[in-house]
Amino acid sequence: MGMDGDSGGGLVNGILLDASLLFASDHNNQNLSSASASASASLLPAADSLLRKLRYSKIRTGIFYEPELSAIKVCLLEEMTRLKLFDSLIAVASSIENVVSEVALTWGENIASHTLVVSGQEELCLKLRNSGWMTAILRSPGHGPANDIEFPTGSETSSSILINKLEELPLTVCHLNKKAESKENILVVGYIMKPSREEDFAKRGAFPLYPTQDGLIFLPLNYELPIPAQLQQVDILLHKATDEIVDVEMSTASEFVNTIEYTKGMQELQRYIEHHLDCCVIDPFPNICPVLDRLKIQQILFGLENLCLKSCYKIRGPRFLKVESFKEPNLQDRLFEAKLSLPNIVKPQVACGVAVAHSMAIVFKMEDYKDLNVPLPAVVQEYVDHSSCLFKFYVLGEKVYYAIKKSTPNAATLMSLSEEGDLKPILFDSLKSLPIDKKNQQLEDGVNNAGNHQIDLELVTDAANWLRNVLNLTIFGFDVVIQEATGDHVVVDLNYLPSFKEVPDDVAVPAFWEAIKWRFRLWKGVEKA
Ligand SMILES: *[C@@H]1O[C@H](CO)[C@@H](O)[C@H](O)[C@H]1NC(C)=O
């Protein structure tokens, strides 16, 4: 059979779940009339979340059920199969042994040694194990203290893996897949980010639990499980720290960095990393901090002006001024000294992590500053006329990609949009809606051409490489607009771990993986930056 009791049967590429694990137990409903007891069925939250994680993980997922499962639950599972939320629903007739033959019928004969069966039924697991399957027994709740987890991934006896919670399953698969390959060939990337972002990446196939050709496995970290036990499995930690900020103290403190408050889970993660330097972090918190601060970003972009790049165009950040209060009596003089002429775009200094970080305004008249409703401290920037054409650049390790997007119109058009021509400031949330010219949805001068100027990709690529070194980040994005009057390439925004949605999946996903491996090699000291 080639099954070695300890190491399992090679890489796990399929999971078969016992349906009875996915629903809350019915005991509480037993006294209700059968009508209300069976009126609805819903998955346990842990089961729902597990199926979501497995859905795009390149691990085939099946659910089997026995005749006792109520019709309403079967109905729900059938509906889920129709919606392709998992791969196969397998009805097991009278006897437990039928699982083997039914699965073989559905998935083909050769699957047994690569499929992990998860059930609460020890007897079933034992039998399957004897027929060459990998099995995991989910301990029923109350069967031993839940916190007494023998990590990693439960204890493996010669017959079965024991797990305490469904949530542990990705960790179990990761552990088995790591063990099945020789250690040097597999790198586990533990990742943490907000669920919507995770889903965006996962849907593109960026987070497989089954090893990529490059040997990467992606393990979703879960704050519900002990962090140390999870990180012990992890070689590389990928995190979007900016999703994990509870608050940023927007004081005028010079040490902006110290005023960020992370979620409890992220704090624990940080503490663990500080004491365990044997994990490559993409990217370390201190590297990310500057990107949270628009003033800091401006100061970094200022360095672009000293680059001697061969181009007839200049690349630079926008002119800017930090403002503590819009009522400052000498604001006008300070704007003048900073070479800022109206209109201006005004942004909060804090670039992310708080709801108001994207509340911005375009200001046309000096007298409108005093009542301006933009969170302070703020950064005032020149408004660059750029023919509504924005170039989004993405840096993935050593690679640079870009996409073109429609953006805000020229100042003159904006002024004509201002209600009743009174030139009141335009307030907007840059994540939700940019002020655009609804009458003219086309880019003002055709797509690839911002005004009179063609983008100088070599210039921007050189700048991207410079930024990568200065920021010391693995994955980041920045936006470039081309000033109509001068052809200056102006970097107007910079962000950490963007979605790079505009880059096609077949290009973006391998580049994303390669970027991770590139950083890992640097961290190992195998490669020079
Ligand atoms: C860049 O960041 C890495 C961690 O990602 C760190 O090990 C390295 O020392 C940093 N390099 C410089 C020049 O600061």
Q: Is the CB–ligand 1 distance for residue 472 below 6 Å?
A: yes
Single-letter amino acid, residue 507: V
CATH number, domain with residue 162: 3.40.50.1000
Tell me the CA distances in angstroms from 177 to 45, 55, 199, 208, 233, one per residue in order: 26, 18, 22, 12, 11
Centroid of ligand 1 to alpha carbon of 286 (angstroms): 10
Instruction: Verify whether ligand 1 is closer than 6 Å to residue 287 (CB atom).
Output: yes
| 472 CA → ligand 1 middle, Å | 6
Decide if 9 is inside a domain.
no
Q: Is 283 in the pocket of ligand 1 (CB under 6 A)?
A: yes
Task: Calculate the alpha carbon distances from 11 to 171, 173, 410 in Å.
Answer: 14, 9, 56
**Ligand 1 centre distance from Cα of residue 39 (Å):** 58
Ligand 1 site, residue 226, Cβ cutoff 6 A: no
Ligand 1 centroid–CA 496 distance in Å is 16
Question: In this structure, which residue's CA is closest to atom 2 in ligand 1?
Answer: 472
196 and 164, same structural domain? no
Q: How far is the CA of 391 from the centre of ligand 1 (A)?
A: 28
Which domain CATH number covers 522?
3.40.50
* Cβ(461) – ligand 1 distance below 6 Å: no
Name the CA dihedral angle for 197, 202, 204, 208, rounded to a multiple of 10 degrees.
150
> Among the atoms of ligand 1, which is closest to the Cα of residue 469?
13
Residues in a beta bridge with 113? none
**Do 217 and 312 belong together in one domain?**
no
68 and 130 inside one domain? yes
Q: Would you say the CB of residue 284 lies under 6 angstroms from ligand 1?
A: yes
Mean pLDDT check: name the lowest of 91-95, 334-338, 395-399, 478-482: 91-95
Residues 6 or more apart in contact with residue 263 via CB below 8 angstroms:
223, 244, 245, 246
Asked whether residue 445 is assigned to any structural domain, the reply reads yes
Q: Which pLDDT value is given to residue 249?
A: 73
Atom 14 of ligand 1, nearest CA residue: 472
Three-class DSSP category at 96: coil
Number of domains in the chain: 3
- What whole-number distance in Å separates Cα of residue 53 and Cα of residue 345? 41
> Considering only CA atoms, which residue is closest to atom 11 of ligand 1?
472
Structure tokens at 127: 């039998």
Pocket of ligand 1, candidates 472, 476, 520, 524: which has the most ligand atoms within 8 Å of its Cβ, to mutate? 472
The answer to whether the beta carbons of residues 317 and 491 sit under 8 Å apart is yes
Give pLDDT tens digits for 141-153.
655 444 444 444 4
Q: Whose CA is nearest to atom 6 of ligand 1?
A: 523
- Are 269 and 227 within 8 A, CB to CB? yes
> Which pTM value belongs to this model?
0.87
**Would you call 259 helix, strand, or coil by DSSP?**
helix
Same domain for 399 and 299: yes
Q: DSSP H helical segments within 387-440, as ranges?
A: 411-417
d(CA 527, CA 529): 7
In a domain, 25, yes or no: yes
Ranking 140-154, 336-350, 388-402, 426-440 by mean pLDDT, the lowest is: 140-154
Mean pLDDT of the region 67-82: 92
Atom of ligand 1 nearest to the CA of 287: 2
Atom number in ligand 1 closest to CA 472: 1
Statement: residue 421 has pLDDT above 70: no
The residue whose C-alpha atom lies closest to atom 10 belonging to ligand 1 is: 472
Q: Give the domain-ending residue among 180, 200, 231.
A: 180
Atom of ligand 1 nearest to the CA of 519: 5
Whether residue 327 lies inside any domain: the answer is yes
Predicted local distance difference test score (pLDDT) of residue 1: 31
What are the φ/ψ torsions at residue 79 (nearest 5 degrees)? -60, -40
Last residue of a domain, one of 180, 203, 226: 180
- Residue 218 shares a structural domain with residue 246: yes
Give yes or no: residues 158 and 236 share one domain: no
426 and 333 in a common domain: yes
Rounded distance, CA 416 to CA 412, Å?
6
The residue whose CA is least distant from atom 1 of ligand 1 is 472
Give, using CA atoms, the residue closest to atom 9 of ligand 1.
523
Query: E strands, 88-227, where?
Result: 88-91, 115-119, 134-138, 161-163, 187-192, 216-220
Distance CA 364, CA 360 (A): 13
| Judgement on whether residues 205 and 215 belong to the same structural domain of the protein | yes
Average pLDDT over every residue of 500-520: 95
Q: Is 288 a member of any domain?
A: no
Instruction: Give the ligand 1 atom nearest the CA of 523.
Output: 7
- Protein residue whose Cα sits closest to atom 12 of ligand 1: 472
CATH number for 358:
3.30.470.20
Residue where the block lists tokens 């680059």: 307
Residue 31 has pLDDT above 50, yes or no: no
Range of the domain at 519: 181-282+507-529
Of all protein residues, whose CA lies closest to atom 4 belonging to ligand 1?
Answer: 284
- Beta-bridge partner residues of 503: none
The CA 12 to ligand 1 mean position distance, Å, reads 35
pLDDT digit string, tens, across residues 222-258 = 988 998 889 988 999 999 888 888 887 766 555 555 5
Is 279 touching ligand 1 by the criterion CB < 6 Å?
no
Closest CA to 154 of 167, 172, 166: 172
In this structure, which residue's CA is closest to atom 13 in ligand 1?
A: 472
Query: pLDDT by residue (tens digit) across 174-212?
Result: 989 988 887 778 999 999 998 899 999 999 999 999 999
Helix, strand, coil % over all residues of the chain, rounded to 5: 35, 25, 40
Q: Is 7 inside any structural domain?
A: no
Which atom of ligand 1 is nearest to 283's Cα? 5
Tokens 């992890």 belong to: 234
Domain boundary among 150, 180, 210: 180
Q: Are 161 and 171 in contact (CB under 8 A)?
A: no
Residues 446 and 430 in one domain: yes
In a domain, 155, yes or no: yes
Integer Cα distance of 324 and 349 in angstroms: 10
Co-location of 214 and 252 in the same domain: yes
285 lines ligand 1 (CB under 6 A): no
Structure tokens at 280: 């490559």
Cα-to-centroid distance, 290 and ligand 1 (Å): 14
Q: In which band, very low, low, confident or very high, does the pLDDT at 497 lie, cut at 50, 70 and 90?
A: very high
8 A C-beta contact, residue 360 and residue 374: yes
CB atoms within 10 A of CB 512: 25
At which residue do the structure tokens 């924005």 appear? 390
pLDDT at 458 over 70: yes
The mean-pLDDT minimum among 14-23, 228-237, 316-325, 410-419 falls in 410-419
The closest residue, in CA terms, to atom 7 on ligand 1 is: 523
If you measure from the C-alpha of residue 187 to the centroid of ligand 1, how many angstroms do you get, rounded to a whole number? 20
130 with 185, same domain: the answer is no
Are both 203 and 299 inside the same structural domain? no
Q: Which two tokens stand for residue 470?
A: 């200065």
Nearest-angstrom CA–CA distance, 522 and 516: 10
User: Is residue 3 included in any domain, yes or no?
Assistant: no
Q: How many angstroms is it from 182 CA to the middle of ligand 1?
A: 28
Closest CA to 123 of 89, 102, 97, 146: 97
- List, in sequence order, every residue forming a beta bridge with 321; answer none if it has no partner: 380
- Which of 154-158, 449-453, 484-488 shows the lowest per-residue confidence on average (mean pLDDT)? 154-158
